[in-house]
Structure 1
Amino acid sequence: MDLTLEAYRNIVKNVGSRSDIATLCGVSKGFRYIAERALYNTLFMRNDDETLLLCHTLINSLRLAEYVDALTISFSEDDSTEDSNSTDEGAYEPIQMNWLLVAQALKNTTRLRYLNVHISASEKAYSWIVDEATFQLRKFHCEFDWDHHLVAFLDRQTELEDLFIADYRDDEPDTDTHTPPPLTLAANSIPKLSILECTFSEAAMAIVPGRPVTHLKTCFSHDELSAKREEMYTLLSRIVLSTRPLRSLDIGDSLYTETFSTELLASIANTRSLIAELKHLGTLVLPIDGRERLQFYGLLMRFPSIQSVEFEVTEWDPPPSSPAALRALGGELRLYSPSVVRIIFVQDFERSVVAAVDGICRVDPEISTDLLWRER
């Protein structure tokens, strides 16, 4: 007797492993219909062994390829070559991703919505694998080189809302043979982009204007003060051109200083259109000196909607590393900005979150600091 689709779904959902789900595919047509979708909805490509089998399946079966909703391509050169220096006869050869097969498989995954590409620094010139892809992504984590293949792909994306890019440049190297396509996005491309994470501020300057970006995470490219100050003014002048109010802004820096951080906070506070709905702000150096810290809090008081902030406190001596010290700083900030309910303290790249619950500050180790800027 056949079961209802809901019954099949509940059974498959509670099966413990992918191998057991695969076994269900042979039980009946009803189980196969649901189990295949569960198996192929979310896929991972990690090395040639797994990729070879998976890509051949997607290439040879359009039906199964259309079930793929999320795909992660994850290749780490360090992991794959850890045994490659061995002098034993049985030493392993470095595992290589078969990019041609990946490209052929991607061509068939016409309903893909989420694509994550995590690759090593020496393996980034493979954006051509999406040249023939027709899917419309909602989220794209991309560590490919920024080249004309990637730009052409992004120009075709009309549903993309969430984008991470690890590389950016606005011109193509000279070539003696032809003039390459431009490396700037078309003005009407990625019209729904709302979350942008990019490691180069130049990418934010180029992408945010004219698009509905509400959440931005980027980093300053310069260390020298006058160059970084000019970069700051240009960046702020460009991100206010988003077609929607900014709700989250996180700007990293390779050289954090109290002076520049206070200057950055003041510049943001003086941009009324930028602070109106801003709920998350980072990463700022919290001044050590009490008087300077109070002035710093005074600037934060000008943010009417602020709910979470991220502070760099590495240079504090002694560091505020104990729960009591972190709670005290959180409580001190909330005296001036009671709307703030989460404070992230960064010390030597380690993050601690103080959350205010019913007016009481406590350190909360369960909060994901990597995603907090996306939640506001």
Structure 2
Amino acid sequence: MELSQEAHHLIVRYVGTRRDLVNLCRVSKRFQQEAEKALYDTLHLRGHSRTIEICQLLASTPRLSSLVDALSIFVVDDGSDDEDAPVPDDYWDSIAGALQHTTRLRFLSVYFEQAEDTSQAWVLNQCTFQLQTFHCDFEWDDHLLTFLHSQSNLTDLHLADYRSNASTAPSNDMPLLPKLSILECTFSEAAMALSPGRPITRVKTCFSHSQIDEKRTELHDLLTKLRQSRRSLRALDMADEAYTEEFSLELLTSMVEMFSHSSNLRYFGTLVLPVETKQRLEFYATLMRLHRLQCVELEVSEWDPPPMTPAALRALTFELRIYCPTVSRVIFVYDFDRVVMKVTNNICVLDHEASADILWREV
């Protein structure tokens, strides 16, 4: 009796390992079709040799390359005894060939885990897929900019590099990234360039300047550009090379002055939580003007002793909630270690399941 397509699909869903999926491909044509979908839907390529092998297979087998929905490429050769082994000559050519054939790709991530030559965005030149999510560690150049101009469905973008370019501005003829709503970028200048005229709602970036006067100007320019988004801001995560109470309060005050009346902000950080009670009360009084805030990230590295015991973290969380009762999660940062406190039904506990690095995307 021939099983239905739904039955084949359910059986494949319960197969535990990729090796078993490969074996299932040999059972019958129907099982092969369903098992190949499971095998090639999401690919994580790590190591020079394996990446070249899989990419060459995708470039030469349209049946398989058309199945790829999500592709992650880690530019590191962890299969070699020599950590400094150079990238093979055909490495990027094989990736370019695969990308040209993965026509249904929606999620693409390219990670450079070592100091490699990141000027490889040319591999995107002849791609026809329309991405929804793109994690891009490539160097910013004309190849990358041309590719981004072709992505009308992209909603989630991570940029490791950015250089000011007038052609990033929206235009009526060919707008760049018209659906972009989530932006993670190393340089705040990228957020300033991409926020106006686009439905940006979530931004994670960092200050490019270290001098206080330059940082004030940078902060003003960034918030001004964020207000020009087509949708209200829900999350802002601002990193800094040096966190101080004084500038953190300036950051919070500026945010409140620009966004409090129409604020839909649910996530805000990173802010220094003042040690002294008087300054802390001033901090809370400003923070409470963000009426929809659900999660805040607080830097407490200057506290002595560090308030990182469960009891101390609970006490600080409940203290904050006296002024900001809408906050249900607090991320405490001490010397780059992050701890998430979660409040449910007035019970405050350590949230071991939450990932502090991505909460700004989820709240």
Instruction: State the TM-score, normalized to the length of structure 2.
Output: 0.95
How far off its partner does 1:121 sit? 3.3
Number of aligned pairs?
A: 358
C-alpha distance in structure 2 between counterparts of 1:21 and 1:80, whole Å: 23
- Equivalent residue runs for 1:309-348 within 5 Å: 309-348=296-335
* Match of residue 88 from structure 1: none
Secondary structure at the aligned position of 1:122 is classed as: coil
Q: Which residue of 2 aligns with 1:104?
A: 97
- State the SS of the aligned residue for 1:121: coil
Task: Give the corresponding residue for 2:293.
Answer: 306
Change (3 A) 1:84 1:265: closer
Following TM superposition, by how much is the alpha carbon of 1:272 offset from its aligned partner in structure 2, in angstroms?
3.2
* Structure-1 separation of matches of 2:156 and 2:81: 34
Distance in 1 between the 2:158 and 2:332 partners? 24
Structure 2 distance, partners of 1:45, 1:26, is: 24
Question: Letter of the aligned partner of 1:216 in structure 2?
Answer: V
How many Å separate the matches in 1 of 2:18 and 2:79?
A: 24
Query: SS of 1:123's equivalent?
Result: coil
CA contact (8 A) 1:344 1:369 kept: yes
User: Deviation string for 1:7-58 (max 9, x for gaps)?
Assistant: 1111111112111101111111110110111111011221221122212211
> Aligned partners of 1:239 and 1:84: how far apart in 2?
42
Structure 1 partner of 2:168: 184
CA separation in 2, counterparts of 1:274 and 1:370? 28
Alignment of 1:109-148 (within 5 A): 109-119=102-112, 120-148=114-142
Listed as ranges, the gaps of 5+ residues in structure 2 are none
Is residue 2:28 matched to residue 1:28? yes
In 2, the alpha carbon distance for the partners of 1:164 and 1:125 equals 16
- Whether the 8 Å CA contact 1:269–1:275 is kept in 2: the answer is no
Name the CA shift for 1:67/1:185 in 2 (closer, same or farther; >3 Å): farther
Given that 1:169 and 1:183 are in contact with CA atoms closer than 8 Å, whether structure 2 keeps it comes out as no
Q: Could you tell me how far apart the structure 2 residues matched to 1:38 and 1:190 are?
A: 30
SS at 1:270 equivalent: helix
Matches within 5 A, 1:9-24: 9-24=9-24
Contact 1:240 1:273 in 2 (8 A): no
Q: Which amino acid in 2 is paired with 1:373?
A: W
Which one-letter code corresponds to 1:110 in the other structure?
A: T
Q: Which amino acid aligns with 2:123?
A: I
Structure 2 counterpart SS, 1:110: coil
* Aligned partner of residue 213 in structure 1, secondary structure: coil
Give, as a single letter, the amino acid of the residue that structure 1 aligns with 2:115: A
The offset of 1:84, in angstroms, is 5.3
Identity of aligned residues (%): 50
The alpha-carbon deviation at position 6 of structure 1 amounts to 1.6
C-alpha change, 1:156 and 1:14, in structure 2 (3 Å) is same
The structural deviation recorded for 1:361 is 1.6
Contact preservation (8 Å) 1:286, 1:312: yes
Q: Which residue of 1 aligns with 2:267?
A: 280
Matches within 5 A, 1:196-215: 196-215=183-202
Native 8 Å contact 2:48 2:75 kept in 1:
no
Query: Is 2:154 the counterpart of 1:160?
Result: yes
1:237 CA displacement: 0.5
Q: CA-to-partner distance for each residue in 1:187-206, whole Å, 9 max, x for gaps?
A: 31211111000010000000
The one-character-per-residue Cα deviations of 1:92-121 (angstroms, maximum 9, x if unpaired) are x44547001100110000000000100133
Coordinate RMSD, CA, aligned: 1.6
1:221 to 208, 211, 228: 208
- Is 1:67 the counterpart of 2:67 in the alignment? yes
Q: Distance in 1 between matches of 2:328 and 2:134?
A: 30
- 1:52 equivalent to 2:52? Answer yes
| Native 8 Å contact 1:268 1:275 kept in 2 | no
Q: How does 1:191-270 map to 2 (within 5 A)?
A: 191-270=178-257
C-alpha deviations, 1:136-183, integer Å up to 9, x for none?
000000000010100000000011010000001115xxxxxxxxxx66
Distance 1:186 1:277 in 2: 24
CA–CA separation in structure 2 for the residues paired with 1:332 and 1:186: 44
For 1:353 and 1:169, the matched residues in 2 are separated by 34
Structure 1 position 2 matched with structure 2 position 2: yes
Q: Which amino acid aligns with 1:248?
A: A
Structure 1, unmatched stretches of 5+, are 86-92, 172-181
The alpha-carbon distance between structure 1 residues 149 and 200, as it changes in their structure 2 partners (threshold 3 A), is same
Instruction: Please state whether the residue corresponding to 2:140 is helix, strand or coil.
Output: coil
